[in-house]
Amino acid sequence: CLILAIETSCDETSAAVVKNGNEILSNVVATQIDIHKRFGGVVPEVASRLHVEQITLVIEEAMKQAQVEYEDLAAVAVTEGPGLVGALLIGVNAAKAIAFAHGLPLIGVHHIAGHIYANQLVQPLQYPLLALVVSGGHTELVYMKEDGVFEVIGETRDDAAGEAYDKVARTLKLPYPGGPHIDRLAQEGNATIPFPRAWLEEGSYDFSFSGLKSAVINYMHNAEQRGEAVSPADVAASFQESVIEVIVSKTIQAAKEYDVKQVLLAGGVAANKGLRATLQEEMNALNNIELVIPPLSLCTDNAAMIGAAAFIRLKQGKLGNLALNGNPGLDLENM
């Protein structure tokens, strides 16, 4: 069962061919980062225009690398939302055109379901499971008792983890996107600055990063006012420790409470070396719960993860039609 998948929700134009939801035949990603870098973040209108320029080439390249023809495909899948509406529309319209022209079923996929199912490209999923989703726009703990059923048991009340990384990076005058730069700096520094930890109410699986972000900004501002030297590496290490301590500890607590078989790591921030190492270490202490972490290329946005999630929707008969539209506010639980 071959699925052509398309992803254009933000600043990566991507197309992939995935076999049986777990085998990547091709996964082509054209990133726009170098262009958005100049503006310090993603400019939606620019993103849409670049997707228009790239989409056909990227799809053709994905088909070529996979060595398949349109008549070999079982379906076309596309990210329906959430994301930038103008960006989503490019992928959605490309997918609809291919579905119409070749008489193929069309499958709309939730972007976060894609990040979670990236793990299915690594190894078979076992339910019930818990997914820690940490990306540019989301920080969520998602409980899945079976395939295709998502229950959000905790989420951020303000910034997403990736957003906090990118804002703190900007304060440290690092280029966009800042996550990987903070990650690298953090390895060189010591976590000596006592930034706050947002534990929230007892038993809550929600997150909050805006207080931490403000604490870092204030720390830098105060140092500048007093003419004191700061160690950017120590700031990065201290910030990262605060983020990781909270998300890892809540993940472990939820994994025990919900008695899951697997914990999955998902989203762009899952590429973080410190997070991967700490989660691995803490999970080693738990018997009977398996940790699945995707390779770096499957953590950030890519179409293969959309193809993996689409396979389940195809199996479950959850098909779209030509009325499918980009939906920036698409709900994961009620899709």
Query: In the complex, which residues of this chain contact ligand ATP (CB under 6 A)?
Result: 9-10, 83, 111, 115, 135-138, 162, 165-166, 177-180, 183, 267-269, 271-272, 300-301
Nearer Cβ to Mg ion (10/76): 10
Nearer Cβ to ligand ATP (268/320): 268
135 scored as a contact of Fe ion (CB under 5 A): yes
Name the token pair of 88: 């989503």
Per DSSP, the residues of 11-48 read SEEEEEEEETTTEEEEEEEEE-HHHHHTTTS--HHHHH
How many beta carbons lie within 10 A of that of residue 269, not counting itself?
28
301 scored as a contact of Fe ion (CB under 5 A): yes
Q: How far is the CB of 259 from ligand ATP (least distance, A)?
A: 27
Nearer Cβ to Fe ion (27/238): 27
In the chain, count H helices and then E strands.
Answer: 11, 10
Q: How far is the CB of 42 from Mg ion (least distance, A)?
A: 7
- 206 touches 197 (CB < 8 A): no
Residue 329, annotated as binding a ligand: no
Burial 39-78 (b: 16+ CB within 10 A, else e): eeebbbebbbbbbbebbeebbeebbebbebeeeebbbbbb
Residue 162, annotated as binding a ligand: no
How many beta carbons lie within 10 A of that of residue 109, not counting itself?
33
Distance of CA 226 to the CA centre of its chain: 39
Q: How far is the CB of 269 from Mg ion (least distance, A)?
A: 11
Residue 72, annotated as binding a ligand: no
Angle at 166 between CA 224 and CA 154, to 5 degrees: 120
Distance CA 183, CA 172 (A): 13
Nearer Cβ to Mg ion (47/92): 47
Nearer Cβ to ligand ATP (115/250): 115
Nearer Cβ to Fe ion (244/266): 266
Angle at 56 between CA 53 and CA 62, to 5 degrees: 125
Residue 137, annotated as binding a ligand: yes
Residue 136, annotated as binding a ligand: yes
At residue 6, the 3 state secondary structure works out as strand
Q: How far is the CB of 139 from Fe ion (least distance, A)?
A: 12
Interaction partner, residue 269 (ligand ATP, Fe ion, Mg ion, none; CB < 5-8 Å by kind): ligand ATP
Give the interface with Mg ion as residue ranges (CB under 5 A): 10-11, 301
Distance CA 177, CA 233 (A): 17
Residue 114, annotated as binding a ligand: no
The count of residues interacting with Fe ion (CB under 5 A) is 2
Q: How far is the CB of 18 from ligand ATP (least distance, A)?
A: 18
At residue 230, the 3 state secondary structure works out as coil
Interaction partner, residue 320 (Mg ion, ligand ATP, Fe ion, none; CB < 5-8 Å by kind): none
Q: How far is the CB of 301 from Mg ion (least distance, A)?
A: 4
> Which residue numbers belong to the known binding site?
111, 115, 133-137, 166, 179, 183, 272, 301
Chain residues binding Fe ion by CB under 5 A are 135, 301
